Amino acid sequence: MNLKLFLSGLLILITQSACNQTQKTEQKMKYNKLTEFEQAVILHKATERPFTGEYVDTSDSGIYVCRQCNAPLYRSDDKFESHCGWPSFDDEIPGAVKRIPDADGHRTEIVCANCGGHLGHVFEGEGFTPKNVRHCVNSISMKFIPKNKTLKMDTAYFASGCFWGTQYHFMKTQGVVSTTVGYMGGHTQHPSYKEVCSGTTGHIETCEVEFDPAKTSFENLLKLYYETHDFEQVGGQGPDIGEQYQSVVFYTNDAQKAMAEKYLGILKDLGYKPATQLRKAPVFWPAEDYHQEYYEKKNGTPYCHVYRKIFK
């Protein structure tokens, strides 16, 4: 091997390693300062004593975030009483929690997907709730943010055909706190899926996206929206034909409207003929439970929402 090339390659590897280490150090500097006990649990995987944690009996509405990095972890709606001595949840915010085999060789540890902080363990098959899952979490690993004091979140509404596929992509996106599928734009209240499919209510299948503006933006979500459906198709999406499957951005304020108009112009400049409609957001009606996170439950993937890169 040429010595000069070898030394050059070695220098590149050393430089990359140094850069990666610098990035990791900078990231850690952004984390919250932990007390000695918080470090013992979050960094060194200790466990707080049962029935002593701050959130064992908490039932207020809000979200639970990582104590170390503030990443949203759990919704209060998924918390239940298991009488085990620690806060219990039967679901996590999509993408927020990572599962890894525990060092004891038997259990499954759960950590914050963002910073790797130890949360607790997850158990299945106990039958506490229909989801048959229990996230057993140390209170000290989390901070509870009441609903009326939640971190500054924003909401966007996107319709791009079957809402299963729309939700599939948004729920996996960094900065998205929660997603809910439902119906918008019709002339009846509390519509059912059957009524919407009849084409008589005027509703459109829509995904409500709650996101953290500090971690993503409406613009980023808008790009993903266009990159995951055929926005040129009129009157449907793929094989799903009907008014309820139209491509629509329901804007909540003038800033969202202006951004949506901007991207319609960008798409036209790129040679596309977007059929996406822009409408002011009316009331959002959540869909039935079995529609929520459909592909996640079925371990499937969308049949007509396929990602393709459009924007730089």
Sign of CA dihedral 260, 165, 64, 121: negative
Distance CA 31, CA 63 (A): 19
Q: How many residues does the chain have?
A: 312
Angle between helices 163-170 and 218-227 (to 10 degrees): 130
User: Which is catalytic among the residues 66, 112, 115, 162?
Assistant: 162
Tally of helices (H runs) and strands (E runs) in the chain: 7, 17
Which two structure tokens, joined as six digits, stand for 123?
Answer: 């158990």
CA-wise closest residue to 79 among 45, 125, 26, 129: 129
Question: Is 162 a known active-site residue?
Answer: yes
Kindly provide the residue ranges of all beta strands, DSSP E only, lying in the chain, ordered along the sequence. Answer: 62-66, 72-75, 79-80, 88-89, 97-101, 108-112, 118-124, 133-137, 142-146, 154-160, 176-184, 204-211, 236-237, 240-241, 247-251, 277-280, 285-286
User: Which is catalytic among the residues 66, 112, 115, 136?
Assistant: 136
Question: Is 304 a known active-site residue?
Answer: no
Q: Active-site positions?
A: 136, 162
